[in-house]
Structure 1
Amino acid sequence: MSNHQKRLSVPNSWPVERKTETYTVKAGAGPHGEDGVPLLVLLRDVLGYVDSKKEARYALNQDSVLVNGDAISDERRPIGMFDIIAFTEREEYYRVFPDEGGRLALTPVDADAAGSRLGKIIRKEQVTGGAFQLTLHDGTNIRVDDASEYTPNDSLVIDNEDKSVVAHFVYEEGALVTAVDGQHAGDIGTVDEIVVTQGSGDNTVHATNDDGGFETIEDYVVVIDENFTDDDGDAVDEADDATDDDAEADADEAEADADEADADAGDADADADTTDEPADAEDDDETQEADEE
């Protein structure tokens, strides 16, 4: 297997430009499968915190970059959907969330929200000893004694410190879901109907929202809670406020420049008037001498 990764062949979920250069870093072994984005891509191409792989390795060796609560030293570590990235020295926290088109994006969250992450149950099985094992979308395995309340397609909130289950969201009609793949990736809505397809076809989900709603297959939706959407909204509002403040500052600066230009123009006119006065006086003297002669 090749150790190189061409930009043109990277998964659609990777937030990289495909035609600027030929190659990019290849993801190492880890969670999220082939859709996992190397941490270096986020640090260098998305956030711009480093300029090279060497700088990324130096930063990671300081143990100041955490992924789901664990310090990461491998710049090729795959990062995927719903992962929490924390920069302890900067006090910055991000949740990986798919935007429109399915490309992974970083959504700012606060420190409390960064203490746990969301995971979708994709498999439930009984293991040796009688316990049950829940496998999440990123490959995480959670063991529970009683799994009767858990079913595939449910979502769990996992604490990043002790890896315990903090909350459980049931996949059912009326649940709040987000699409993470397909043409509706990034859309959020309430499940109106779950259509079970007989045979090998995919089940479909009808969800409603303020824009009317969307329909997608069951594998593309993840159950979330209202706090999840509040974090995203706060991030958007903060960005809008920052934009408004910048616009006001630019307007004030432009007005100050205009006032300064007017003042300069006034000074120039005053200088011109002062310069013209001696010339006018000389003309009057010459006229008076001519009259006397």
Structure 2
Amino acid sequence: MTNHQKRLSVPKSWPVERKTETFTVKAGAGPHGESGVPLLIILRDVLGYVDSRKEARYALNQDNVVINGKQVNDEERPVGMFDIVAFDEREEYYRVFPDEGGRLALTPIDEDSAQSKLGKIVNKRHVPGGDIQLTLHDGQTLLVDETDEYDAGDSIVVDNEDGEIVAHFVYEEGALVTAVDGSHAGDIGTIDEIQVTPGSSQNNVLVDREASEDDSRFETVEEYIVVIDENFTEDNE
């Protein structure tokens, strides 16, 4: 198996230049599936904190890089949407957020905001014992009581230290959302209408943009929509 990935074939969410060189690093196994960006790309290509894989390995061995509350020392560890990347020694904290075009970017946040991570519920099922298992967009799973009213499409905020759910945002008309893929990736607005499509086709979502000089409304598919809270709009101003 090669440790290299051709730049021209990387997912469009990866923040790398595709025509400057032939290869880039390959993501290791972990969260976010094929869309996960290797940590090395964040350190080298996005932040410019290192110039090579060797420098990245040295930096990570100092135990100063933390993702979602856990120290990381693997430069191939995938990083993806809504992850919290912290550099404790520098006192720098970032949320991974899609920018225009769907490429992942780092949004600076404060230390308090870095203590928890938002996740979109993509699956909900019963498990033995009577609990409900929620699966989030990055593959993380959580057990909740069957009386808790969580549904696929909702978003939750999970404490990075103890894994407890500290906030819940319902996917419904009027909810504040962002598009994370497609031609409107990075746009923020409120759901005006959820158009239920019969059969196996995806539902369409009409969203009223936040203050914008462009058309005040956009349409996208349900899969691309994530419910957020007002802190996201403040962080991205």
Q: TM-score, normalised by structure 1?
A: 0.78
The aligned runs of 1:93-108 (5 Å cut-off) are 93-108=93-108
CA distance in 2: counterparts of 1:29 and 1:59, whole angstroms: 21
User: Where in structure 2 are there 5+ consecutive unaligned residues?
Assistant: none
SS at match of 1:158: strand
TM alignment of 1:40-189, pairs within 5 A: 40-189=40-189
Equivalent in the alignment of 1:223: 227
Output one character per residue of 1:225-261: Cα deviation in whole Å (capped at 9) or x when no partner: 111111222xxxxxxxxxxxxxxxxxxxxxxxxxxxx
Residue 204 (structure 1) aligned with residue 208 (structure 2)? no
Q: Secondary structure at the residue paired with 1:230?
A: helix
Structure with larger RCO (C-alpha < 8 A, sep 6+): 2
Query: What 5-or-longer segments of structure 1 have no aligned partner?
Result: 234-293
**Which secondary structure state, in structure 1, belongs to the residue aligned with residue 94 of structure 2?**
strand
SS in 1 for 2:236: helix
1:147 is displaced (CA, Å) by 4.9
Distance 2:222 2:167 in 1: 21
4+ long deviations beyond 4 Å: none
Between Structure 1 and Structure 2, how many residues are aligned? 233
Partner of 1:30: 30
In 2: Cα distance, 1:51 partner to 1:184 partner:
33
Question: How far has the Cα of 1:112 moved from its partner?
Answer: 0.6
- Provide the C-alpha distance between the structure 2 equivalents of 1:102 and 1:95, rounded to a whole number of angstroms: 15
Provide the rounded CA distance (Å) in 2 between the counterparts of 1:147 and 1:79.
33
**Whole-angstrom CA distance in 2 between matches of 1:206 and 1:70:** 37
Q: Which has the higher helix share?
A: 1
- What amino acid does structure 2 have at the position aligned with 1:173? E
When you count strand as a share of all residues, which structure comes out higher?
A: 2
Match of 2:7 in 1: 7
Tell me the amino acid that sits aligned with residue 194 of structure 1: I
Structure-2-length-normalised TM-score: 0.96
1:19 Cα offset (Å): 1.0
Matches of 1:213 and 1:168, distance apart in 2: 25
Secondary structure of the corresponding residue to residue 40 of structure 2: helix
Q: Per-residue displacement from partner, 1:124-169 (whole Å, max 9, x unpaired)?
A: 0111111110000000001011254100000000111111100000
Q: Is 1:20 paired with 2:37? A: no
What is the alpha-carbon distance in structure 2 between the residues aligned to residue 67 and residue 166 of structure 1? Answer: 18
Q: CA deviation at 1:3?
A: 3.7
Corresponding position of 1:270: none
Query: Deviations 1:262-284 (Å, cap 9, x if unpaired)?
Result: xxxxxxxxxxxxxxxxxxxxxxx
Structure-2 change in CA distance of 1:15 and 1:147 (3 Å) = farther
Take 1:75 and 1:2, find their aligned partners in 2: how far apart are those partners?
A: 15
Counterpart residue identity of residue 90, structure 1? R
- The structure that has the greater radius of gyration is 1
Contact 2:38/2:75, CA 8 A, preserved across alignment: yes
- Is contact 2:117–2:159 with CA below 8 Å preserved after alignment? yes
Structure 2: distance between partners of 1:97 and 1:26: 21
Structure 1 residue 108 displacement after superposition: 0.3
